[in-house]
Chains A and B, each alone.
Chain A
Amino acid sequence: MKSFTVSRAYGAFMRTARSQLRHPQSAVGTLLVVFFLILALFGPQLAPYPNPNDQSHSLRAAPTLDIGGLRLGEHPFGTDRLGRDVYSRVILGAGSIFRIAGLGTLISVVLGSALGLFMGYQGGWVDEIIGRVIDALLAIPALLLALVLIGIIRNLDFAAGSWQAALADNVILLVISLLYIPIVARVARSTTLDIKTREFVEAAEIRGESQFYIIFREILPSVIPSLVVEASLRFSYAIFLVASLGFLGFGARPPSPDWGLMVNENRGGFYQLTPWALEFPALAIAILVIAVNLMSDGIRRAVQKGS
């Protein structure tokens, strides 16, 4: 967005960042999210054993982590029943969850806000029809819709290498986008309804500006703050959903180091043998979701103050 000059965007970013650090909760949340983001980006470099399926270690070794003594030891989080280092697998798992949840959030925010802006600005029957469809979609429980969609797409038979096959491989991404586009669209629409009555939009109309120009140059910048808040909220839900689907066995396939999948693989009888192989990925999911929520609260606070 050219209208969003660099200095202005930077100023808004710094204001938000400063506000985040002033409140202890959002500071903790933001720092934790940044920590996980580093794990996601540099996982293969940071993990002691970058191959997630490295089964060369002793089986069911107990965690050697000693927080009091600040010592990680040989297998900080222990090893699982196949002799894989849980610590490495948790670190490597950050990448996939960030990729799927993050990308899914991004796609749904971009498409959802475009749809919402269009509905809100256009109004009338266009808004009415799309609005009803969205309401209908939102009435179906998210997990149910996800399971149905995955079930359908996974069972279709595609030629290997075709685009349909690529789609089927990224079915979770697709599901997250489809689930969250309507929600984001609703938020974008309601903010647009508020902004479009402002006089600067009317000033653009009496200049004869195109609808595209009015939506993206005049209205969008004012909608962005609420979209940022919504995006952070969607991200936390997306993480939760990805982990849930992994746990239910609809997400990544073994031997992927997916956190949800790891929890699933190590429950039941295995929990007695290697509780750490379940507890550490579960803890990672919980901490990340809470951290994103804390950060999102902080962003909302900063944005609301700024407006």
Chain B
Amino acid sequence: MATVTQRNLLDVDKLTISYRVEDQWIQAVRDFQLQLGRGHIIGLVGESGSGKSTVALALMRYLSRNGRVEKGSRLVFDGEDLLSKPNAEMRRLWAKRIKFVPQNAAAALNPSIKIGRQVTETLKAADGIDGHEAYERMIRMFHDVNLVDPERVAERYPHELSGGMQQRVTIAMALISNPELLILDEPTTGLDVTTEAVILDLVRRLIAERDTSVVYITHNLGVVAQLCERALVLYAGEIMEEASVLDLFQQPRHPYSLGLISSVPKPGQSKRAAPLQSIAGNPPSLTRIPSGCVFANRCPLVLDLCRERKPPLETLEDGRLVRCHRWSEMEAGMQPVSPILRPPSPSLWRASPEREKGRNALLDTTGEKERKKPLPLHGVAQAQTRRGGVWGGGNDNTLMRATDLSKHFPVERKVSEILGRLDPAPIRAVDGVDLRLRAGQTLGLVGESGSGKTTLARLIIGLEERSGGTLELLGMDVRNSVRDRSQDVLSKLQMVFQNPQNSLNPYLSVRQAIRRPLIKLRGFAPAEADAEALALLERVNLRAEYAERYPDELSGGEKQRVAIARAFASDPDLIICDEPVSALDVSVQSAVLNLLAELQDEHGSAYLFISHNLSVVGYLADAIAVMYLGQLFEVGEARELFQSPYHPYTEALVSAIPVPDPLHATERILLSDDLPSAQNLPSGCRFHTRCPRKIGEICETDKPPWRQGDAGHLIRCHIPLDELTNAQSGLVLTDETD
């Protein structure tokens, strides 16, 4: 670095940003520094509240009215001091040289102006170009961001485009003026993995072509590993570590970086091997920033020194920055003794041997020596094959069986349809799903948004009434709506929701939330219920004093623990988990996943675990079902998810995962991001419109058959399995070698 004579494009030092919140100035970002050369790409990683979005806006000197940059900060862009620039000059910079791509493209685009005008307007502001010339440049730019049919896109309004297309438009809008600096703030966070892969690919290519410098802000370590050259880890408003991506992922020098990297499940990592690592505790409140190290209260390597004195941001020999008193010990290989690498809580540690025993007992059924061989299918199967006897043992251990389950949402008729006495086609959210869950096991359900996985879950739990099919739980017929179900069925089926913010009533204390199902569904007397509620709290690793707290006094992870305790209160046999960790920060997510795995071993409850994150599903599930446009396309053992043969759709999903390992490189299979409408489904195989392995007309005309693989692995495709295996041998993500 020292030998570089070329001036950095961006040179930030001692940047401190404060916000005024209720008569008090809070320092959201402290002592931030960043040097970025031309054509380089740096990732800014941090959890919510780490100050990463504040930094993003401050780099453009664009702060909200209650924000300010403190004295002594240095912010230089291409040799010019941005902090002393008048606003008019800043506007000229924003128009042309510094561009920003926001997280929420739908909110960033003006809903009442056609796309074409919005994009050409930016050209006018940047270069004074308008009319035909601007239009031509816009069309070229739309081609560059792979927007199909650019002329038509230009004529549309933002709401007529899919999320992925909207984000491409904002990227096109940012790049059309050939900016020198591009700041992307979580541009793929709300998108599906498949769309995310497309956007990342796009960003990578466009940057390489244009020599643009990029600051990429994200909480997703996988994205950083796959896209960036250097990465900067922020925590509670301070830099913890800055290093090349390779160094950071291979030898993190800060305990927080290490914790963060090891708490993300990698594709192929499974609960059967070991619990995930996690970081205990919560980040400090910005109103009470500790005088010592900000990470001290969660750090497994904490010393008295750390609490007393803030560690300086040191530059190491290899050019990285670290803010830790003990980095040299980390360098000397201390991490293996760090408690971060042990299970996160004492009670989990205690539970582990039992858990191992449980697992072994499970494995014993197939013979201990044969661990390499996949277990017979435990989770799911399809009706046609059920008679074929792939499951061997009949229906022993069957907890729940859904047959031909459907949900068709009626569509309101248009005037023309009422006059013509036509019934419009319903939206087939779930369309003929056969599913079997075994007691005590986890079935992972994956698919893009719009695949119908949440509707399927709501049919099972009874929050939606099914249009067809049957549902059996422990041999009992389960009624359609939750209102008609017996106490018995209700207590056996529970749910953990996605958004911890909304899943607890803000006006009920933790104790009240947990005791209610005990009284209602298990007939406890109030005093017994209180005692049991405390016991349940302890089981989810919350101290007894949490009983009297209210949801707004809990962090996201704590709320989700309470929601889990509430779900377990009725002693259910099946818990439906709908994206239970997707709203949580990475460091908290792993602790919740561990908790779910542990409780399952103690309780023997089965989970139907829904997630768009394949690594998370792969970690927790025993069996997997892949859903697309209301139907299942692949079912099998969890380990099969990351091994060929795949269904071509699964293959695309798996290849799109941003793997948190910079050395990992797969050929990405990019899908177009327009999911067909569930009202107007493709004929033949529903996936043929996007399938990269489409073999011909048969895919468009005939429904694909279920094909059987090993151990009950089922794939619904016209391509025979051995051909799929041959074609897909390159894509093996699992490193489970046992």
Residue positions of A touching B, CB distance < 8 A: 3-5, 8, 198-200, 202-203, 205-209, 218, 221-222
Chain B at the A interface: SS class: mixed
Known A8-B550, A202-B497; contact A207-B490, beta-carbon cutoff 8 A: yes
Q: Are A205 and B463 in contact (CB under 8 A)?
A: yes
Of residues 451 through 504 on chain B, the ones whose CB sits less than 8 Å from some CB of chain A are 461-463, 482-483, 485, 487, 490, 493-495, 497-499, 502-504
Chain A residues with Cβ under 8 A from B508's Cβ?
A: 3, 221
CA distance A305 to B29 in the complex (A): 25
Contact partner of A199 among B482, B490, B502, CB < 8 A? B502
Closest 10 CB pairs of A and B: A221-B507, A199-B497, A199-B503, A200-B505, A208-B490, A198-B502, A199-B502, A205-B482, A207-B517, A207-B520
Given A198-B502, A200-B502, 20 further pairs, Cβ under 8 A: A3-B512, A5-B509, A8-B550, A199-B497, A199-B499, A202-B495, A203-B563, A205-B463, A206-B461, A206-B493, A206-B494, A207-B490, A207-B517, A207-B520, A207-B570, A208-B482, A208-B483, A208-B485, A222-B505, A222-B507
Asked if B566 CB lies within 8 Å of chain A CBs, one says yes
Interface string of B414-447 (1 = CB under 8 A from A): 0000000000000000000000000000000000
Which of B502, B504, B563 has the most chain A CB atoms closer than 10 A to its own CB?
Answer: B502
CA distance A105 to B92 in the complex (A): 56
CA distance A64 to B665 in the complex (A): 94
CA distance A8 to B495 in the complex (A): 28
Interface size on B, as a range, is 20 to 34
Q: Are A206 and B490 in contact (CB under 8 A)?
A: yes
Q: Are A200 and B462 in contact (CB under 8 A)?
A: no
CA distance A59 to B563 in the complex (A): 74
CA distance A203 to B563 in the complex (A): 9
Asked if B516 CB lies within 8 Å of chain A CBs, one says yes
Q: Are B505 and A221 in contact (CB under 8 A)?
A: yes
Q: List 30 A-B contacts (CB under 8 A).
A: A3-B507, A3-B512, A8-B507, A8-B550, A198-B502, A199-B498, A200-B503, A200-B505, A202-B497, A203-B495, A203-B497, A203-B503, A203-B563, A203-B566, A205-B482, A206-B462, A206-B463, A206-B482, A206-B493, A207-B516, A207-B517, A207-B520, A207-B570, A208-B483, A208-B485, A208-B487, A218-B505, A221-B505, A221-B507, A222-B506
Chain B residues with Cβ under 8 A from A218's Cβ?
A: 505
Interface string of B249-276 (1 = CB under 8 A from A): 0000000000000000000000000000
Least CB distance from A122 to B in Å reads 12
Chain B residues with Cβ under 8 A from A209's Cβ?
A: 520
CA distance A8 to B461 in the complex (A): 33
Closest partner residue, chain B, to A198 (CB atom) = B502
CA distance A198 to B521 in the complex (A): 22
Chain A residues with Cβ under 8 A from B516's Cβ?
A: 207
Q: Are A206 and B495 in contact (CB under 8 A)?
A: yes
Which of B503, B521, B550 has the most chain A CB atoms closer than 10 A to its own CB?
Answer: B503
Interface string of B517-533 (1 = CB under 8 A from A): 10011000000000000
CA distance A208 to B505 in the complex (A): 16
Least CB distance from A54 to B in Å reads 51
Closest partner residue, chain A, to B505 (CB atom) = A200
Chain B residues with Cβ under 8 A from A5's Cβ?
A: 509
Chain B residues with Cβ under 8 A from A200's Cβ?
A: 502-505
Chain A residues with Cβ under 8 A from B461's Cβ?
A: 206
Chain B residues with Cβ under 8 A from A203's Cβ?
A: 495, 497, 503, 563, 566
CA distance A237 to B485 in the complex (A): 47
